[in-house]
A and B are shown apart, each in its own frame.
Chain A
């Protein structure tokens, strides 16, 4: 085994991958939520459709999107590897455990939260991402140029109250996942310092509320305005 594979198969190496991919996905979420704010523009979806076209064709965005796919897959695989090691580390459990007195619920349930988010991600990508890439899309023309009308697909999808409710609930789980994951990633990278750690924790607490709330407001806005 080379030193690289040896390092990446140690518990700390695996945690390093979890932290780096997690932080990259946090960056992705920031970009994703910012772009999708165009749904609120009220221009019949022109800006949103042009943005969607840009995001699926621009070569630089393509590289970022591949990095995002890799991050998601690596985050899932390494979480499975770590969880298996963690479960095997305690073959006989406690009859009585008061874990809630020493740690936050979200920190103890990152695997469960992540699994729910993964299920949401599959449904979400199948509904929009797969349609945009390979599906039969309605077209729309702005200034003589045709675009795929993703806006219409989104508008249609969020007429369904079950889907809207599912999205809102999923964002709740995302919020809990981020509430621990954000600061935890920095701790894993060894970035724990009296000067910066309080700021990281504060940003994490704000981020884990603001981003999921903005995401959840999109299906709610569409459902109640159309």
Chain B
């Protein structure tokens, strides 16, 4: 395959940045998108140019590290992570536009790498459970209905990649935050900090500068893990009931 890549290049946070066009040839349909980027970077390195910086880690679709806004969509044309996107999704001669996630809360570090530690700070604000010290508890000591366990697990499959923020017209982090709140609110272990969690995580989400939700559904449509909008409704219930019943003034 012969392709033209229009890639966002930015030296550092302070740099203005801009698009640079790279022609690339000899790409196999069976390569993953990131492998295609590797080929390009090898060429750039051989020429003595600075390779394009992009986030990646497991390349198995489970870590949430890869990002990239490809041809107007987070993770490109398929509802998957960029590492699981293959070049067969494109046709020979295509021009592919590659941009970083765009959000005030996700500042560009270099080229296509953005700083997603705002997500970590939302988790730190309340995305944890209290665990008492002592002996190891018996298995099945806390009964959890299969249906609830499944629902909590569905929410927990969120890999925190930030595609929801990237897809949202408001750069809102509500799908992410709601998945993290839901996962713990559904389980008995999460009850101790339940109210405080909803209040604190949402306060942190606002403080990070993410936008509000307009219920467009773009986040769920683009989420590589299929996190459902019902989590956002649950987060709203959790938050509204927490603020009227918690003792935090």
Contacts and interface: CB of A to CB of B under 8 A. Distances in A.
Contact of B69 (A7, A82, A94, A103): A94
Contacts of A98: 71-73
B73 A102 contact: yes
A14 to B, nearest CB: 7
Given A10-B202, A93-B102, A103 B221 contact: yes
B139 to A, nearest CB: 31
B105 to A, nearest CB: 7
Nearest to B212: A11
A92 B166 CA distance: 12
Given A10-B206, A102-B222, A89 B105 contact: yes
Interface stretch (B54-62, B152-160, B233-241): B233-241
Contacts of B227: none
A190 B240 contact: yes
A89 B236 contact: no
B171 interface: yes
Contacts of B216: 102-104, 107-108
Contacts of A13: 243
Contacts of B87: none
Contact of A101 (B73, B99, B213): B73
A15 B212 contact: yes
Interface string A81-112: 01001111111111111110111100110100
Q: Which residue, A12, A95, A99, A101, has most C-beta atoms of chain B within 10 A?
A: A12
A188 B215 contact: yes
A187 B218 contact: no
Interface string A181-217: 0011001111110000000000000000000000000
Nearest to B236: A190
Contact of A184 (B202, B203, B205, B215): B215
B85 to A, nearest CB: 15
A3 B97 contact: no
Interface in A26-49: none
A86 B73 contact: no
A103 B236 contact: no
B102 A3 contact: no
Nearest to B233: A192
B167 interface: yes
Interface string B99-120: 1001111000000000000000
Contacts of B240: 12, 16, 189-190
A146 interface: no
Contacts of B211: 11, 85-90
Contact of B229 (A14, A94, A187): A187
Top 7 A-B pairs ranked by shortest CB distance?
A192-B233, A89-B211, A190-B237, A98-B72, A86-B170, A102-B221, A103-B216
Interface of A: 2-3, 7, 10-16, 82, 85-99, 101-104, 107-108, 110, 180, 183-184, 187-192
Interface of B: 6, 8, 19, 69, 71-73, 97, 99, 102-105, 167, 169-172, 202-203, 205-206, 209-218, 221-222, 229-230, 232-237, 239-240, 243, 248-249
Given A11-B210, A86-B172, A89-B211, 5 more contacts: A97-B72, A102-B167, A102-B222, A189-B240, A190-B234
